[in-house]
Amino acid sequence: MTTYQDIRRQVENLTPDEQLRLLEELAVMVRRRMIVKPKHSIMVLEGLGKEIWHGLDAQEYINQERASWNG
């Protein structure tokens, strides 16, 4: 199995253009592996608790809340 040092020696033998190309490709590869994909979508929360608001007038609720701010 090739070790880090063996690979590094091989990279040193590449031309500067080849080294830059390798560096760019490695950066892309590492970024792809680091992207964390969410296990769940926030959309699963859609509609959650809607029964709490059933039968309430939205504007009346807002007016009451605003009135409570003034004490």
Q: How many domains would you assign to the chain?
A: 1
Q: Does the pLDDT of residue 71 top 70, yes or no?
A: no
Q: Does 17 reside within a domain? A: yes
User: Which residue range is the domain that position 15 belongs to?
Assistant: 4-34
Q: Does 65 reside within a domain? A: no
Q: Does 42 reside within a domain? A: no
Q: Does 60 reside within a domain? A: no
| Residue 6 and residue 17 in contact, taking contact as beta carbons nearer than 8 Å | no
What does the block give as tokens for 52? Answer: 């709490």
Q: Does 52 reside within a domain? A: no
- How confident is the model at residue 1, as a pLDDT? 65
Q: pLDDT tens for residues 12-66? A: 999 999 999 999 999 999 998 888 777 888 888 999 998 988 899 999 999 999 9
Q: Does 68 reside within a domain? A: no
